[in-house]
Structure 1
Amino acid sequence: MTAVVPALPSVEHLPPVGLEELVARAALQTRVDRKYVLPLPAAERFLAGLAGTEEVRVLEMAGLRAFGYESLYLDTPELTGYHLAARGRRRRFKVRRRTYLDTGTAFLEVKTRGPRGATVKERIPAAGDRQHVAAFVDDVLDRAGLGQVRSDELRPVLRTAYRRTTLHLPATDGRVTVDTDLTWSLPGGPAAGLADVVPVETKSGSAPSAADRRLWRSGHRPTRISKYGTGLAALRGDLPDNKWCPVLRRHFSLLTPCSSDDRNLP
Protein backbone atom coordinates (compact mmCIF):
# COMPACT_ATOMS: atom_id res chain seq x y z
CA MET A 1 0.00 0.00 0.00
CA THR A 2 1.38 3.42 -0.96
CA ALA A 3 0.85 6.85 0.56
CA VAL A 4 -2.39 8.66 -0.25
CA VAL A 5 -2.12 10.43 -3.61
CA PRO A 6 -3.74 13.87 -3.64
CA ALA A 7 -6.22 14.66 -6.38
CA LEU A 8 -5.73 17.45 -8.88
CA PRO A 9 -7.50 20.54 -7.49
CA SER A 10 -9.69 20.85 -10.60
CA VAL A 11 -11.34 17.44 -10.04
CA GLU A 12 -11.95 17.62 -6.30
CA HIS A 13 -15.52 18.95 -6.71
CA LEU A 14 -16.60 16.60 -9.54
CA PRO A 15 -19.20 13.89 -8.91
CA PRO A 16 -17.63 10.42 -8.55
CA VAL A 17 -18.02 7.29 -10.62
CA GLY A 18 -17.13 3.87 -9.25
CA LEU A 19 -14.83 1.43 -11.01
CA GLU A 20 -17.57 -1.12 -11.66
CA GLU A 21 -19.81 1.42 -13.39
CA LEU A 22 -16.89 2.91 -15.33
CA VAL A 23 -15.88 -0.50 -16.65
CA ALA A 24 -19.48 -1.37 -17.52
CA ARG A 25 -20.05 1.85 -19.44
CA ALA A 26 -16.65 2.83 -20.80
CA ALA A 27 -14.25 -0.11 -20.70
CA LEU A 28 -13.14 0.71 -24.28
CA GLN A 29 -10.69 -2.14 -24.62
CA THR A 30 -10.93 -1.48 -28.38
CA ARG A 31 -10.72 2.25 -28.89
CA VAL A 32 -9.10 5.23 -30.56
CA ASP A 33 -6.52 6.89 -28.32
CA ARG A 34 -5.56 10.53 -28.85
CA LYS A 35 -2.57 11.69 -26.86
CA TYR A 36 -1.53 15.18 -25.82
CA VAL A 37 1.27 16.64 -23.72
CA LEU A 38 0.49 19.72 -21.62
CA PRO A 39 2.37 21.75 -19.03
CA LEU A 40 0.81 21.18 -15.61
CA PRO A 41 -0.91 24.63 -15.43
CA ALA A 42 -2.44 24.11 -18.89
CA ALA A 43 -3.72 20.69 -17.85
CA GLU A 44 -5.42 22.24 -14.82
CA ARG A 45 -7.07 24.88 -17.02
CA PHE A 46 -8.24 22.21 -19.47
CA LEU A 47 -9.83 20.15 -16.70
CA ALA A 48 -11.52 23.15 -15.14
CA GLY A 49 -12.88 24.30 -18.51
CA LEU A 50 -14.12 20.84 -19.44
CA ALA A 51 -15.93 20.45 -16.14
CA GLY A 52 -17.52 23.85 -16.63
CA THR A 53 -19.15 22.94 -19.95
CA GLU A 54 -19.66 19.15 -19.93
CA GLU A 55 -20.94 16.57 -17.51
CA VAL A 56 -17.76 15.01 -16.13
CA ARG A 57 -17.32 12.39 -13.43
CA VAL A 58 -14.10 11.29 -11.80
CA LEU A 59 -13.12 7.76 -10.86
CA GLU A 60 -13.15 7.40 -7.09
CA MET A 61 -12.19 4.34 -5.07
CA ALA A 62 -11.87 4.18 -1.27
CA GLY A 63 -12.05 7.97 -1.16
CA LEU A 64 -9.15 8.43 -3.60
CA ARG A 65 -9.31 10.22 -6.95
CA ALA A 66 -5.71 9.79 -8.10
CA PHE A 67 -3.86 6.51 -8.14
CA GLY A 68 -0.29 5.32 -8.40
CA TYR A 69 0.56 3.22 -11.46
CA GLU A 70 3.74 1.37 -12.35
CA SER A 71 4.37 -0.35 -15.67
CA LEU A 72 7.25 -2.65 -16.53
CA TYR A 73 7.57 -2.93 -20.31
CA LEU A 74 8.88 -6.14 -21.84
CA ASP A 75 10.51 -6.48 -25.24
CA THR A 76 12.87 -8.78 -27.10
CA PRO A 77 16.66 -8.32 -26.80
CA GLU A 78 16.51 -6.67 -30.24
CA LEU A 79 13.69 -4.36 -29.07
CA THR A 80 11.33 -5.64 -31.75
CA GLY A 81 8.32 -3.87 -30.24
CA TYR A 82 10.15 -0.56 -30.09
CA HIS A 83 11.39 -0.75 -33.68
CA LEU A 84 7.98 -1.75 -35.07
CA ALA A 85 6.47 1.32 -33.42
CA ALA A 86 9.35 3.59 -34.45
CA ARG A 87 8.84 2.55 -38.06
CA GLY A 88 5.06 2.99 -37.86
CA ARG A 89 4.30 -0.62 -38.75
CA ARG A 90 0.63 -1.54 -38.76
CA ARG A 91 1.36 -4.77 -36.92
CA ARG A 92 2.99 -3.81 -33.65
CA PHE A 93 2.69 -4.61 -29.99
CA LYS A 94 3.46 -3.67 -26.41
CA VAL A 95 3.69 -6.09 -23.53
CA ARG A 96 3.74 -4.79 -19.98
CA ARG A 97 3.14 -5.75 -16.41
CA ARG A 98 0.96 -3.02 -14.91
CA THR A 99 0.71 -2.67 -11.14
CA TYR A 100 -1.88 -0.54 -9.37
CA LEU A 101 0.23 0.64 -6.46
CA ASP A 102 -2.62 1.55 -4.10
CA THR A 103 -3.94 -2.00 -4.09
CA GLY A 104 -1.00 -4.07 -5.28
CA THR A 105 -3.12 -5.58 -8.05
CA ALA A 106 -1.12 -6.42 -11.19
CA PHE A 107 -2.04 -7.46 -14.74
CA LEU A 108 -0.07 -8.70 -17.71
CA GLU A 109 -1.28 -6.63 -20.66
CA VAL A 110 -0.74 -6.96 -24.41
CA LYS A 111 -1.66 -4.08 -26.71
CA THR A 112 -1.93 -4.56 -30.47
CA ARG A 113 -3.49 -2.74 -33.42
CA GLY A 114 -6.98 -3.47 -34.68
CA PRO A 115 -8.92 -2.20 -37.71
CA ARG A 116 -8.48 1.47 -38.65
CA GLY A 117 -5.63 1.93 -36.22
CA ALA A 118 -7.70 1.19 -33.12
CA THR A 119 -5.83 0.03 -30.03
CA VAL A 120 -6.80 -3.41 -28.73
CA LYS A 121 -5.80 -4.20 -25.15
CA GLU A 122 -6.10 -7.66 -23.63
CA ARG A 123 -4.98 -8.61 -20.13
CA ILE A 124 -5.00 -11.26 -17.45
CA PRO A 125 -3.94 -11.23 -13.78
CA ALA A 126 -0.15 -11.26 -13.59
CA ALA A 127 -0.18 -13.57 -10.59
CA GLY A 128 -1.35 -16.57 -12.63
CA ASP A 129 0.63 -19.66 -13.53
CA ARG A 130 3.68 -18.71 -15.61
CA GLN A 131 2.83 -21.14 -18.38
CA HIS A 132 -0.71 -19.79 -18.54
CA VAL A 133 0.59 -16.21 -18.74
CA ALA A 134 3.08 -17.16 -21.46
CA ALA A 135 0.38 -18.95 -23.46
CA PHE A 136 -1.84 -15.87 -23.18
CA VAL A 137 0.87 -13.58 -24.57
CA ASP A 138 1.67 -15.96 -27.43
CA ASP A 139 -2.01 -16.32 -28.33
CA VAL A 140 -2.60 -12.56 -28.49
CA LEU A 141 0.50 -12.04 -30.63
CA ASP A 142 -0.48 -14.91 -32.93
CA ARG A 143 -3.95 -13.47 -33.50
CA ALA A 144 -2.41 -10.06 -34.27
CA GLY A 145 -0.15 -11.54 -36.94
CA LEU A 146 2.96 -11.26 -34.77
CA GLY A 147 3.67 -14.92 -34.26
CA GLN A 148 7.39 -14.37 -34.88
CA VAL A 149 7.59 -12.85 -31.38
CA ARG A 150 7.49 -15.38 -28.54
CA SER A 151 6.86 -14.74 -24.88
CA ASP A 152 10.03 -16.53 -23.77
CA GLU A 153 12.09 -13.89 -25.61
CA LEU A 154 10.67 -10.96 -23.66
CA ARG A 155 12.79 -9.14 -21.09
CA PRO A 156 12.22 -6.01 -18.90
CA VAL A 157 13.48 -2.92 -20.73
CA LEU A 158 11.72 0.14 -19.23
CA ARG A 159 9.83 1.03 -16.07
CA THR A 160 7.36 3.90 -15.83
CA ALA A 161 5.57 5.28 -12.79
CA TYR A 162 2.99 8.05 -12.50
CA ARG A 163 -0.22 9.18 -10.81
CA ARG A 164 -3.39 8.82 -12.85
CA THR A 165 -6.71 10.61 -12.66
CA THR A 166 -9.48 9.10 -14.82
CA LEU A 167 -12.53 11.03 -16.01
CA HIS A 168 -15.76 9.67 -17.46
CA LEU A 169 -17.77 11.66 -20.03
CA PRO A 170 -21.28 10.19 -19.66
CA ALA A 171 -22.71 11.80 -22.82
CA THR A 172 -20.53 9.60 -25.04
CA ASP A 173 -19.13 7.15 -22.47
CA GLY A 174 -15.64 8.32 -23.33
CA ARG A 175 -12.74 8.52 -20.93
CA VAL A 176 -9.90 10.93 -20.27
CA THR A 177 -6.78 10.04 -18.33
CA VAL A 178 -4.42 12.62 -16.86
CA ASP A 179 -1.00 11.40 -15.71
CA THR A 180 1.16 13.45 -13.34
CA ASP A 181 4.57 12.94 -11.73
CA LEU A 182 5.76 10.72 -14.58
CA THR A 183 9.12 8.99 -14.19
CA TRP A 184 11.01 6.78 -16.63
CA SER A 185 13.81 4.41 -15.63
CA LEU A 186 15.92 1.72 -17.24
CA PRO A 187 16.43 -1.51 -15.28
CA GLY A 188 19.64 -0.90 -13.37
CA GLY A 189 20.22 2.30 -15.33
CA PRO A 190 19.36 6.00 -15.46
CA ALA A 191 16.01 7.55 -14.56
CA ALA A 192 14.25 10.82 -15.37
CA GLY A 193 11.49 12.64 -13.49
CA LEU A 194 8.99 14.78 -15.41
CA ALA A 195 6.92 16.46 -12.72
CA ASP A 196 5.89 19.51 -14.82
CA VAL A 197 4.83 17.57 -17.95
CA VAL A 198 1.35 16.02 -18.08
CA PRO A 199 0.36 13.39 -20.67
CA VAL A 200 -3.38 13.58 -21.34
CA GLU A 201 -5.10 10.79 -23.25
CA THR A 202 -8.64 10.66 -24.61
CA LYS A 203 -10.18 7.25 -25.22
CA SER A 204 -13.28 7.05 -27.37
CA GLY A 205 -14.84 5.53 -30.43
CA SER A 206 -13.92 6.83 -33.86
CA ALA A 207 -15.46 10.29 -33.28
CA PRO A 208 -13.48 12.88 -31.29
CA SER A 209 -14.80 13.52 -27.79
CA ALA A 210 -15.77 16.79 -26.13
CA ALA A 211 -12.39 16.69 -24.43
CA ASP A 212 -10.61 16.51 -27.80
CA ARG A 213 -12.56 19.46 -29.15
CA ARG A 214 -11.76 21.57 -26.08
CA LEU A 215 -8.08 20.73 -26.34
CA TRP A 216 -8.08 21.69 -30.02
CA ARG A 217 -9.75 25.02 -29.29
CA SER A 218 -7.01 25.72 -26.75
CA GLY A 219 -4.32 25.09 -29.35
CA HIS A 220 -3.33 21.59 -28.25
CA ARG A 221 -3.09 18.96 -30.96
CA PRO A 222 -2.63 15.20 -30.72
CA THR A 223 1.02 14.29 -30.58
CA ARG A 224 3.07 11.15 -31.02
CA ILE A 225 3.97 10.19 -27.51
CA SER A 226 4.30 6.71 -26.15
CA LYS A 227 5.33 6.19 -22.55
CA TYR A 228 7.33 3.23 -23.81
CA GLY A 229 8.72 4.53 -27.09
CA THR A 230 9.33 8.12 -26.04
CA GLY A 231 10.75 7.09 -22.68
CA LEU A 232 13.18 4.58 -24.16
CA ALA A 233 14.28 7.06 -26.84
CA ALA A 234 14.81 9.72 -24.18
CA LEU A 235 16.91 7.56 -21.88
CA ARG A 236 18.98 5.75 -24.49
CA GLY A 237 21.20 7.39 -27.04
CA ASP A 238 21.55 4.49 -29.45
CA LEU A 239 18.01 4.09 -30.79
CA PRO A 240 16.24 5.63 -33.81
CA ASP A 241 13.93 8.28 -32.42
CA ASN A 242 12.66 10.34 -35.36
CA LYS A 243 9.05 9.31 -34.76
CA TRP A 244 9.22 10.87 -31.29
CA CYS A 245 11.73 13.63 -32.04
CA PRO A 246 9.09 16.42 -32.26
CA VAL A 247 7.63 15.63 -28.84
CA LEU A 248 11.10 15.18 -27.34
CA ARG A 249 12.22 18.53 -28.76
CA ARG A 250 9.10 20.41 -27.70
CA HIS A 251 8.33 18.95 -24.29
CA PHE A 252 11.45 17.14 -23.09
CA SER A 253 14.28 19.25 -24.49
CA LEU A 254 15.89 19.70 -21.07
CA LEU A 255 15.94 15.95 -20.61
CA THR A 256 17.55 14.84 -23.86
CA PRO A 257 18.43 16.23 -27.31
CA CYS A 258 17.05 14.60 -30.41
CA SER A 259 19.35 12.21 -32.15
CA SER A 260 21.74 13.08 -34.91
CA ASP A 261 20.81 12.07 -38.43
CA ASP A 262 22.79 8.83 -38.27
CA ARG A 263 20.38 7.47 -35.66
CA ASN A 264 17.27 8.34 -37.64
CA LEU A 265 15.40 5.81 -39.70
CA PRO A 266 15.63 5.74 -43.47
Structure 2
Amino acid sequence: MEFKNTLQGFIGISLAELKDRAELMQRANNKYVLDTDTLIVFLEAMQNDFCILKINGIRNFTYHNIYWDSPNLRTFYDHNKDRRKRFKVRFRYYLESNLFFFEVKIREARSMTYKYRLPIDIETYQTKKLPESLFGFLSERIHQHYAYTLANDFIPSIQINYQRLTLVSKQSVERITVDHQLLFTFEQQEDNLPYNRYIIEVKSTTGRSSVDRWLQHNHHRPVSKCSKYSIGVNLLKLAHKNTQFTPTIRRSFHKPMDSFKYTPLSSKPPS
Protein backbone atom coordinates (compact mmCIF):
# COMPACT_ATOMS: atom_id res chain seq x y z
CA MET A 1 0.00 0.00 0.00
CA GLU A 2 1.29 3.46 -0.85
CA PHE A 3 1.32 5.85 2.10
CA LYS A 4 -0.21 8.68 0.01
CA ASN A 5 -3.54 6.85 0.02
CA THR A 6 -3.63 7.33 3.80
CA LEU A 7 -3.51 11.12 3.43
CA GLN A 8 -7.11 11.18 2.23
CA GLY A 9 -8.18 10.41 5.80
CA PHE A 10 -6.93 13.79 7.08
CA ILE A 11 -8.93 17.01 7.13
CA GLY A 12 -7.12 19.74 5.19
CA ILE A 13 -5.81 22.93 6.80
CA SER A 14 -4.61 26.13 5.10
CA LEU A 15 -1.17 27.68 5.51
CA ALA A 16 -2.71 30.64 7.37
CA GLU A 17 -4.41 28.26 9.82
CA LEU A 18 -1.14 26.37 10.31
CA LYS A 19 0.70 29.57 11.21
CA ASP A 20 -2.08 30.54 13.59
CA ARG A 21 -2.13 27.18 15.36
CA ALA A 22 1.47 25.97 15.36
CA GLU A 23 4.03 28.11 13.55
CA LEU A 24 6.59 27.08 16.20
CA MET A 25 9.46 29.37 15.25
CA GLN A 26 10.79 28.54 18.74
CA ARG A 27 10.54 24.82 19.43
CA ALA A 28 11.98 21.50 20.51
CA ASN A 29 12.39 18.82 17.84
CA ASN A 30 12.61 15.03 17.86
CA LYS A 31 13.36 13.01 14.73
CA TYR A 32 12.45 9.42 13.93
CA VAL A 33 13.06 7.21 10.90
CA LEU A 34 10.24 4.91 9.75
CA ASP A 35 9.79 2.48 6.87
CA THR A 36 6.74 2.59 4.59
CA ASP A 37 4.60 0.04 6.43
CA THR A 38 5.26 1.66 9.80
CA LEU A 39 4.59 5.13 8.36
CA ILE A 40 1.14 4.01 7.19
CA VAL A 41 0.28 2.69 10.68
CA PHE A 42 1.58 5.95 12.18
CA LEU A 43 -0.45 8.15 9.82
CA GLU A 44 -3.63 6.16 10.46
CA ALA A 45 -3.12 6.62 14.20
CA MET A 46 -2.77 10.41 13.76
CA GLN A 47 -5.90 10.99 11.64
CA ASN A 48 -8.30 11.78 14.49
CA ASP A 49 -6.02 14.31 16.18
CA PHE A 50 -4.23 16.02 13.28
CA CYS A 51 -5.06 17.97 10.13
CA ILE A 52 -2.87 18.04 7.03
CA LEU A 53 -1.53 21.13 5.27
CA LYS A 54 -3.35 21.41 1.95
CA ILE A 55 -2.75 24.15 -0.63
CA ASN A 56 -4.58 24.16 -3.98
CA GLY A 57 -5.43 20.50 -3.49
CA ILE A 58 -1.79 19.52 -2.87
CA ARG A 59 -0.78 17.68 0.33
CA ASN A 60 2.75 16.60 -0.55
CA PHE A 61 5.12 19.49 -1.29
CA THR A 62 8.54 19.84 -2.93
CA TYR A 63 11.35 21.66 -1.11
CA HIS A 64 14.68 22.73 -2.63
CA ASN A 65 17.31 23.81 -0.09
CA ILE A 66 20.76 25.31 -0.66
CA TYR A 67 22.82 25.14 2.53
CA TRP A 68 25.59 27.64 3.19
CA ASP A 69 28.70 26.94 5.19
CA SER A 70 32.28 28.12 5.57
CA PRO A 71 34.95 26.55 3.30
CA ASN A 72 36.07 24.38 6.24
CA LEU A 73 32.46 23.29 6.99
CA ARG A 74 32.20 25.06 10.32
CA THR A 75 28.45 24.53 10.80
CA PHE A 76 28.79 20.83 9.94
CA TYR A 77 31.66 20.27 12.36
CA ASP A 78 29.90 22.20 15.13
CA HIS A 79 27.12 19.63 14.90
CA ASN A 80 29.51 16.71 14.47
CA LYS A 81 31.33 17.79 17.65
CA ASP A 82 28.04 18.00 19.55
CA ARG A 83 28.45 21.68 20.32
CA ARG A 84 25.34 22.82 22.10
CA LYS A 85 25.49 26.22 20.41
CA ARG A 86 25.25 25.71 16.67
CA PHE A 87 23.34 26.99 13.65
CA LYS A 88 22.45 26.33 10.02
CA VAL A 89 22.03 28.73 7.12
CA ARG A 90 20.06 27.96 3.97
CA PHE A 91 18.07 29.23 1.03
CA ARG A 92 14.72 27.45 0.68
CA TYR A 93 12.52 27.26 -2.41
CA TYR A 94 8.90 26.12 -2.09
CA LEU A 95 8.25 24.73 -5.55
CA GLU A 96 4.44 24.63 -5.59
CA SER A 97 4.00 28.16 -4.22
CA ASN A 98 7.09 29.57 -6.01
CA LEU A 99 8.37 31.25 -2.83
CA PHE A 100 12.01 31.74 -1.80
CA PHE A 101 13.36 32.36 1.72
CA PHE A 102 16.64 32.91 3.53
CA GLU A 103 16.49 30.88 6.74
CA VAL A 104 18.61 30.69 9.88
CA LYS A 105 18.15 27.93 12.45
CA ILE A 106 19.86 28.44 15.80
CA ARG A 107 20.26 25.76 18.45
CA GLU A 108 20.70 26.84 22.05
CA ALA A 109 22.08 25.03 25.07
CA ARG A 110 18.60 24.11 26.33
CA SER A 111 17.99 22.04 23.17
CA MET A 112 15.59 24.67 21.84
CA THR A 113 15.66 25.62 18.17
CA TYR A 114 14.94 29.16 16.96
CA LYS A 115 14.09 29.77 13.32
CA TYR A 116 14.31 33.12 11.53
CA ARG A 117 13.70 33.88 7.88
CA LEU A 118 13.41 36.58 5.23
CA PRO A 119 11.76 36.43 1.79
CA ILE A 120 14.21 36.59 -1.14
CA ASP A 121 13.89 36.51 -4.93
CA ILE A 122 15.12 33.95 -7.45
CA GLU A 123 18.20 36.03 -8.35
CA THR A 124 19.31 35.97 -4.72
CA TYR A 125 18.53 32.25 -4.49
CA GLN A 126 20.92 31.58 -7.38
CA THR A 127 23.78 33.75 -6.10
CA LYS A 128 27.15 32.26 -5.15
CA LYS A 129 27.99 34.94 -2.58
CA LEU A 130 25.91 35.68 0.49
CA PRO A 131 24.59 39.26 0.11
CA GLU A 132 25.65 41.70 2.81
CA SER A 133 22.03 42.38 3.77
CA LEU A 134 21.44 38.69 4.49
CA PHE A 135 24.79 38.32 6.24
CA GLY A 136 23.79 41.28 8.42
CA PHE A 137 20.52 39.54 9.29
CA LEU A 138 22.44 36.35 10.14
CA SER A 139 25.03 38.23 12.21
CA GLU A 140 22.36 39.99 14.27
CA ARG A 141 20.63 36.71 15.08
CA ILE A 142 23.91 35.00 16.02
CA HIS A 143 24.97 37.92 18.22
CA GLN A 144 21.54 37.94 19.84
CA HIS A 145 21.90 34.29 20.89
CA TYR A 146 25.65 33.71 21.23
CA ALA A 147 27.17 37.20 21.56
CA TYR A 148 29.97 36.56 19.09
CA THR A 149 30.87 37.91 15.65
CA LEU A 150 30.87 35.94 12.40
CA ALA A 151 33.11 36.32 9.36
CA ASN A 152 31.30 36.47 6.02
CA ASP A 153 33.06 33.50 4.45
CA PHE A 154 29.88 31.57 3.69
CA ILE A 155 29.62 29.76 0.37
CA PRO A 156 27.01 27.36 -1.05
CA SER A 157 27.77 23.92 0.39
CA ILE A 158 25.25 21.34 -0.85
CA GLN A 159 21.70 21.25 -2.19
CA ILE A 160 19.01 19.00 -0.71
CA ASN A 161 15.69 18.36 -2.43
CA TYR A 162 12.87 16.35 -0.89
CA GLN A 163 9.13 15.87 -0.56
CA ARG A 164 7.36 16.93 2.65
CA LEU A 165 3.92 16.59 4.13
CA THR A 166 2.92 18.51 7.27
CA LEU A 167 0.43 17.55 9.99
CA VAL A 168 -0.93 20.02 12.54
CA SER A 169 -2.53 19.10 15.86
CA LYS A 170 -6.21 19.95 16.31
CA GLN A 171 -5.82 20.53 20.06
CA SER A 172 -2.23 21.40 21.00
CA VAL A 173 0.72 23.41 19.68
CA GLU A 174 2.27 20.52 17.85
CA ARG A 175 3.37 19.81 14.29
CA ILE A 176 4.70 16.78 12.41
CA THR A 177 6.65 16.82 9.16
CA VAL A 178 7.34 13.74 7.04
CA ASP A 179 10.31 14.11 4.66
CA HIS A 180 11.00 11.57 1.92
CA GLN A 181 12.69 11.09 -1.46
CA LEU A 182 15.76 12.96 -0.24
CA LEU A 183 18.28 13.83 -2.96
CA PHE A 184 21.65 15.43 -2.13
CA THR A 185 23.72 17.24 -4.78
CA PHE A 186 27.14 18.89 -4.84
CA GLU A 187 28.69 20.11 -8.10
CA GLN A 188 28.47 17.09 -10.46
CA GLN A 189 27.75 14.55 -7.73
CA GLU A 190 24.51 13.31 -6.27
CA ASP A 191 23.34 10.72 -3.77
CA ASN A 192 20.08 9.85 -2.09
CA LEU A 193 18.59 8.09 0.90
CA PRO A 194 16.45 4.99 0.29
CA TYR A 195 12.98 5.98 -0.86
CA ASN A 196 11.35 3.56 1.59
CA ARG A 197 12.72 5.50 4.56
CA TYR A 198 10.96 8.58 5.99
CA ILE A 199 12.27 11.20 8.40
CA ILE A 200 9.54 12.09 10.88
CA GLU A 201 10.12 15.32 12.80
CA VAL A 202 7.89 16.08 15.78
CA LYS A 203 7.92 19.79 16.65
CA SER A 204 6.49 21.04 19.94
CA THR A 205 7.14 23.54 22.71
CA THR A 206 8.60 20.95 25.10
CA GLY A 207 9.94 18.01 23.08
CA ARG A 208 7.66 15.68 25.06
CA SER A 209 4.50 15.67 22.98
CA SER A 210 1.72 13.13 22.66
CA VAL A 211 3.20 12.05 19.32
CA ASP A 212 6.60 11.43 20.93
CA ARG A 213 4.88 9.29 23.54
CA TRP A 214 2.98 7.33 20.87
CA LEU A 215 6.15 6.64 18.88
CA GLN A 216 8.16 5.61 21.91
CA HIS A 217 5.33 3.43 23.23
CA ASN A 218 5.46 1.66 19.86
CA HIS A 219 9.22 1.10 20.22
CA HIS A 220 10.49 3.93 18.00
CA ARG A 221 13.25 5.95 19.60
CA PRO A 222 14.40 9.44 18.55
CA VAL A 223 17.37 9.41 16.17
CA SER A 224 19.79 11.98 17.54
CA LYS A 225 22.14 12.28 14.54
CA CYS A 226 19.59 12.84 11.79
CA SER A 227 20.40 16.30 10.42
CA LYS A 228 19.63 16.25 6.69
CA TYR A 229 22.44 18.74 6.00
CA SER A 230 25.01 16.79 8.00
CA ILE A 231 23.99 13.48 6.42
CA GLY A 232 24.32 15.09 2.99
CA VAL A 233 27.80 16.44 3.76
CA ASN A 234 28.83 13.01 5.05
CA LEU A 235 27.58 11.36 1.84
CA LEU A 236 28.93 13.85 -0.70
CA LYS A 237 32.01 15.42 0.86
CA LEU A 238 33.20 13.03 3.58
CA ALA A 239 32.12 9.63 2.22
CA HIS A 240 35.33 7.91 3.27
CA LYS A 241 35.39 9.35 6.79
CA ASN A 242 33.56 8.18 9.87
CA THR A 243 31.59 11.02 11.42
CA GLN A 244 28.92 11.00 14.11
CA PHE A 245 26.36 10.70 11.30
CA THR A 246 27.84 7.54 9.77
CA PRO A 247 26.04 5.18 12.21
CA THR A 248 22.70 6.86 11.41
CA ILE A 249 23.28 6.37 7.69
CA ARG A 250 24.12 2.71 8.21
CA ARG A 251 21.56 1.75 10.84
CA SER A 252 18.54 3.95 10.25
CA PHE A 253 18.74 4.10 6.47
CA HIS A 254 20.41 0.71 5.86
CA LYS A 255 22.94 2.35 3.55
CA PRO A 256 26.50 0.93 3.78
CA MET A 257 29.11 3.66 3.57
CA ASP A 258 31.51 1.52 1.50
CA SER A 259 28.95 1.19 -1.31
CA PHE A 260 28.57 4.89 -2.11
CA LYS A 261 28.84 5.65 -5.80
CA TYR A 262 28.39 9.11 -7.19
CA THR A 263 26.11 9.49 -10.20
CA PRO A 264 25.80 12.39 -12.65
CA LEU A 265 23.84 15.37 -11.41
CA SER A 266 20.26 15.18 -12.70
CA SER A 267 18.42 17.58 -10.39
CA LYS A 268 19.19 21.27 -10.78
CA PRO A 269 18.00 24.38 -8.93
CA PRO A 270 15.06 26.23 -10.44
CA SER A 271 15.88 28.71 -13.19
TM-score by length of 2: 0.85
1:120 is matched with: 114
Deviation of residue 155 (structure 1)?
0.8
1:90 is matched with: 84
Q: Extract unaligned runs of 5+ from structure 2.
A: 125-130, 260-271
Q: Distance in 1 between matches of 2:74 and 2:4?
A: 37
Q: Distance in 1 between matches of 2:60 and 2:177?
A: 10
* Contact 1:96 1:108 survives alignment (8 Å): yes
1:109 is matched with: 103
Q: What do you get for the CA RMSD once the two structures are aligned?
A: 2.2
**Partner SS, residue 37 of structure 2:** helix
**Partner SS, residue 194 of structure 1:** coil
1:264 is matched with: none
2:128 is matched with: none
Alignment of 1:159-178 (within 5 A): 159-178=159-178
1:24 is matched with: 20
1:184 is matched with: 184
What are the Cα deviations for residues 138-189 of structure 1, in whole angstroms up to 9, with x where unaligned? Answer: 2112223274433x31111111111110001122120000112111122332
Q: Distance in 2 between matches of 1:155 and 1:179?
A: 25
Q: Distance in 1 between matches of 2:249 and 2:193?
A: 14
2:70 to 71, 76, 95: 76
2:8 to 2, 12, 29: 12
1:262 is matched with: none
2:127 is matched with: none
1:59 to 53, 59, 64: 53
* Contact 1:57 1:169 survives alignment (8 Å): yes
Asked whether 1:38 is paired with 2:39, we answer no
Q: Extract unaligned runs of 5+ from structure 1.
A: 1-5, 259-266
Q: Distance in 1 between matches of 2:250 and 2:10?
A: 35
What are the Cα deviations for residues 3-34 of structure 1, in whole angstroms up to 9, with x where unaligned? Answer: xxx98221212111110011011010010000
Q: Distance in 2 between matches of 1:69 and 1:238?
A: 24
**Partner SS, residue 226 of structure 2:** coil
What are the Cα deviations for residues 65-89 of structure 1, in whole angstroms up to 9, with x where unaligned? Answer: 1100011110000100001010111
Deviation of residue 239 (structure 1)?
7.5
* Contact 1:76 1:153 survives alignment (8 Å): yes
Asked whether 1:99 is paired with 2:93, we answer yes
**Partner SS, residue 8 of structure 1:** helix
* Contact 1:39 1:196 survives alignment (8 Å): yes
* Contact 1:192 1:255 survives alignment (8 Å): no
What are the Cα deviations for residues 90-120 of structure 1, in whole angstroms up to 9, with x where unaligned? Answer: 2111000011011220100011123511000
**Partner SS, residue 159 of structure 1:** strand
Q: Distance in 1 between matches of 2:231 and 2:65?
A: 14
Asked whether 1:144 is paired with 2:119, we answer no
TM-score by length of 1: 0.86
Q: Distance in 2 between matches of 1:64 and 1:71?
A: 20
* Contact 2:106 2:115 survives alignment (8 Å): yes
Q: Distance in 1 between matches of 2:198 and 2:93?
A: 20
**Partner SS, residue 198 of structure 2:** strand
- How many residues are matched? 250
**Partner SS, residue 137 of structure 2:** helix
